[in-house]
Amino acid sequence: MSSTSRIHLNVFVPTTGHHEASWLHPGTRPERLTDIAYYRETAAIAERGRFDSLFLADQLAIGRSVKHVAQGKLEPLTLLSALAGATERIGLIATASTTYSEPYNLARQFASLDHISGGRAGWNIVTSWSAEAAGNFGLAQRNSHADRYRRATEYVEVVRKLWDSWEDDARRHDRTSGIYADTDRIHAIDHQGEAFRVRGPLDLPRPPQGHPVLVQAGSSDEGRAFAARYAEAIFTAQQELADAQAFYADVKSRAAGFGRDPDGIKILPGLSPILGSTEAEARRNEEELNDLTIPAVGLKHLSQRFDGFDFTVFPLDEPIPVEAFPRPATVQGAQSRSQVILDIVARERPTLRGLLRRLAGGRGHKVLAGTPAAIADHIQLWVEQRAADGFNIMPATVPAGLADFVDEVVPILRRRGLFRTEYAGRTLREHYGLVRPASRYARSA
């Protein structure tokens, strides 16, 4: 096998599992969401599986359904800093918002995490669509979709300049000459933009990876354009092979349009596997989880996806008409995800209750109940058919569902020569096979 794995696997670390009712399942630990040992144990399972990375989402608010859904976990950047010392090789990706923070603060926290972890940091860039988050930051109304992406673009530019502001060899610590740092290699960035004015330099040296790995998850038109320009890994929700192939081709070609190597952007659709030793057992395991769901919770989640639209007016046990939904193009939240949901409705014509059960597992991400071999087949097919470079694994339950995937699916992928047996590299960039960027301020040799 080459120095990087043929496919890439990230684990999306949830509170108790990606299934909405996971905390009610005996395979989860709902009492441990603020217990650092719980996350250390989860990270250890993922590292035992030789995952490329683990990833933490972030909403900057408690959702409306905390009464019935496990919420209130540790903050991603502090949690990953703590996990850096408890792990050796796995990449550590934190979500952070460009809408509610200052680029100087975020640049240095990610740079610091990259130093602390020896080059294993990644930043999942989000623009924070929820109205709840807006209320925690003094905004009566959240910004529009387009405004958020315009700010995000400038924000990422500032952060990358700051990461470049110390050249790699700026530090000398030469006691003989009394020179601590070569100030010709430490640069003010003097950014003057629409949203930000930042003088720089950053207050700590360049991260080991040059730039922590940039990850993105928006799949709307603006989201794709942003990802094609900046992202090095993309998390995306895809239900159907053909749609995933189209998305894959579109993003890779957009990346090429920005002068980038299409292989420098890894596309990782979400996949929530539910395992069973037979197909029938897997289906039963899925039904067992779905039977634990509470329709009121699903209705709140669905409503949040469509800007607060009220679905309680529809009967639970009748097919819900496609026309009942607001148009995704008018949604100011996560546009692409609302389209995924609408496609499911158009394709499968479920009752409202059926739709809620359908979404309880992956919130629009692919849920696949099957044998370990069937899950491995799906992964292999999508990678071979150029629908994915790997997967964002979303265990329905944690730790049980993650451990099952590591113990039962990963060995099959290895036998097929698809996935690494040992880490070849030390940094997240090396795991994903990504180039380390040079500082834009470095003088050519």
Residue of 41, 100, 157, 426 that binds a second copy (CB under 8 A): 100
Cβ proximity to a second copy: between 105 and 421 the closer is 105
Both structure tokens of 183 = 């100030």
- Helix H or strand E encompassing 11: strand 8-12
**Residues in CB range of 431: below 8 A, 6 or more apart:** 4, 5, 8, 52, 53, 89, 91, 423, 425
Cβ proximity to a second copy: between 29 and 378 the closer is 29
Q: How far is the CB of 374 from a second copy (least distance, A)?
A: 30
Residue of 6, 57, 136, 260 that binds a second copy (CB under 8 A): 136
Q: How far is the CB of 415 from a second copy (least distance, A)?
A: 35
Q: Quick check: 67 binds a second copy (CB under 8 A)?
A: yes
- 166-174, 237-245, 365-373, 397-405 -> range binding a second copy (CB under 8 A): 166-174
d(CA 318, CA 439): 58
CA angle 126, 357, 395 (to 5 degrees): 55
Determine phi and psi for 391, rounding to 5 degrees.
Answer: -140, 150
d(CA 403, CA 409): 10
Both structure tokens of 5 = 């794995």
Helices (H), 7-102: 36-48, 76-84
- 2-10, 195-203, 214-222, 391-399 -> range binding a second copy (CB under 8 A): 195-203
Both structure tokens of 176 = 């003989």
Q: How many CA atoms lie within 13 A of 388 on its CB side?
A: 29
- Neighbouring C-beta atoms of residue 163, cutoff 10 Å: 25
Determine phi and psi for 169, rounding to 5 degrees.
Answer: -105, 30
Q: Quick check: 104 binds a second copy (CB under 8 A)?
A: yes
How would DSSP label each residue in 410-445? Answer: HHHHHHTT-S-SS---SSHHHHHT-PPPPPTTPPP-
Both structure tokens of 88 = 């050796």
Give the bridge partners for 301, in sequence order: none
Q: Quick check: 78 binds a second copy (CB under 8 A)?
A: yes
- 66-74, 245-253, 258-266, 422-430 -> range binding a second copy (CB under 8 A): 66-74
- 180-188, 273-281, 402-410, 427-435 -> range binding a second copy (CB under 8 A): 180-188
Cβ proximity to a second copy: between 180 and 258 the closer is 180
Is the peptide bond between 208 and the residue preceding it cis, with omega within 30 degrees of 0? Answer: no
Residue of 48, 199, 415, 440 that binds a second copy (CB under 8 A): 199
Q: Quick check: 130 binds a second copy (CB under 8 A)?
A: no
Residue of 93, 186, 367, 393 that binds a second copy (CB under 8 A): 186
Q: How far is the CB of 21 from a second copy (least distance, A)?
A: 9
- 81-89, 212-220, 240-248, 276-284 -> range binding a second copy (CB under 8 A): 81-89
Q: Quick check: 400 binds a second copy (CB under 8 A)?
A: no
Rounded-to-10 torsion of CA 367, 371, 372, 376: -60
Q: How far is the CB of 54 from a second copy (least distance, A)?
A: 16
Q: Quick check: 88 binds a second copy (CB under 8 A)?
A: no
Q: How far is the CB of 232 from a second copy (least distance, A)?
A: 21
Q: Quick check: 41 binds a second copy (CB under 8 A)?
A: no
Is the peptide bond between 350 and the residue preceding it cis, with omega within 30 degrees of 0? Answer: no
Q: Quick check: 112 binds a second copy (CB under 8 A)?
A: yes
Q: Quick check: 329 binds a second copy (CB under 8 A)?
A: no
Cβ proximity to a second copy: between 136 and 245 the closer is 136
Q: Quick check: 169 binds a second copy (CB under 8 A)?
A: no
Cβ proximity to a second copy: between 82 and 442 the closer is 82
Cβ proximity to a second copy: between 119 and 370 the closer is 119
Q: Quick check: 101 binds a second copy (CB under 8 A)?
A: yes
Q: Quick check: 183 binds a second copy (CB under 8 A)?
A: yes
Both structure tokens of 26 = 């005996």
How would DSSP label each residue in 207-232? Answer: PTTSSPEEEE---SHHHHHHHHHH-S
d(CA 49, CA 397): 16
Q: How far is the CB of 266 from a second copy (least distance, A)?
A: 25
Which residue is listed with tokens 């330099």?
201
Q: Quick check: 30 binds a second copy (CB under 8 A)?
A: yes
What does the binding site for a second copy look like in residue numbers (CB under 8 A)?
Answer: 23-24, 30-31, 33-36, 59-62, 66-75, 77-79, 81-82, 84-86, 100-102, 104-105, 108-109, 111-113, 115-116, 132, 135-138, 140, 166, 171, 173, 175, 178-183, 186, 196-205, 294
